[in-house]
Amino acid sequence: MEKSKGMLIVVSGFSGVGKGTVVQLVFESMPNLQFSISCTTRKPRAGEENGVEYFFLSEEEFEKKIAAGEFVEYTKTFTNYYGTLKSEIDKPLDRGVDVLLELNVVGAKNIKKLYPDSVTVFITPPSIGALKARLIGRGSETPESLSRRLKEIENESKDICHYDYVVTNNVARTCADEIVNIIRSERLKTSRQNLKNLFVQED
């Protein structure tokens, strides 16, 4: 049996949509799926460990890696860099391991360009209105950051059509199951299978 290459799955979603919980449930259902750890220059939050949630780098270290072409995608937010190392994706894929990346719409677009057979999934709320209400209800945002997030939602909305799949996060478990199903079904695509194995003559 010839081993086929791993599959790259990219998950995006609006800020506040509950993406983290959904992705975690996907990993619980698929223990062989590998999470690709991103690099960031932001400071670790309480409980976060280097090499678990992120690789925490200094700005200097990050920029050195940019210069060396080590990232498949990176973005700079207002204050921090976020990026995905090529090695973190290619190594497991070559071993036949499926890799899941959590990225924003810009990162997802870059990945799709470099890995055209990657599978992109966008998580939406049942409605944009509900998401806005949830963000406002949280009360954890300053008026500035709230208006920035609402603006971000508007901008990201325009890119949903470029994703392969759109799933709705109404109940996190259901949404995660849908993503698990997508991954399993994509594995059955003719283009991802090695049909040669089928035609091995045994008679």
Q: Which residues bind its own copies (CB under 8 A)?
A: 122, 124, 127-130, 132-133, 157, 160-167, 178, 181-182, 184-186, 188-190, 193, 195, 198-203
Q: Which is nearer to its own copies, 46 or 195 (CB)?
A: 195
- CA proximity to 121, closest of 163, 151, 64, 159: 163
Q: What is the 3-state secondary structure (H, E, C) of 38-57?
A: EEECCCCCCCCCECCCEEEC
* 97 Cβ contact list (under 8 Å, min separation 6): 6, 32, 33, 34
How near is the Cβ of 28 to its own copies at its closest, in Å?
Answer: 18
Q: Are 161 and 7 in contact (CB under 8 A)?
A: no
How near is the Cβ of 29 to its own copies at its closest, in Å?
Answer: 13
Rg, C-alpha atoms of the chain: 18
CB atoms within 10 A of CB 109: 17
Q: Which is nearer to its own copies, 64 or 192 (CB)?
A: 192
How near is the Cβ of 120 to its own copies at its closest, in Å?
Answer: 9
How near is the Cβ of 122 to its own copies at its closest, in Å?
Answer: 8
Q: Which is nearer to its own copies, 85 or 131 (CB)?
A: 131
Residue type for position 151: K
Q: What is the 3-state secondary structure (H, E, C) of 62-85?
A: HHHHHHCCCEEEEEECCCCEEEEE
How near is the Cβ of 170 to its own copies at its closest, in Å?
Answer: 12
Q: Which is nearer to its own copies, 102 or 178 (CB)?
A: 178
Q: Which is nearer to its own copies, 57 or 131 (CB)?
A: 131
CB atoms within 10 A of CB 185: 11
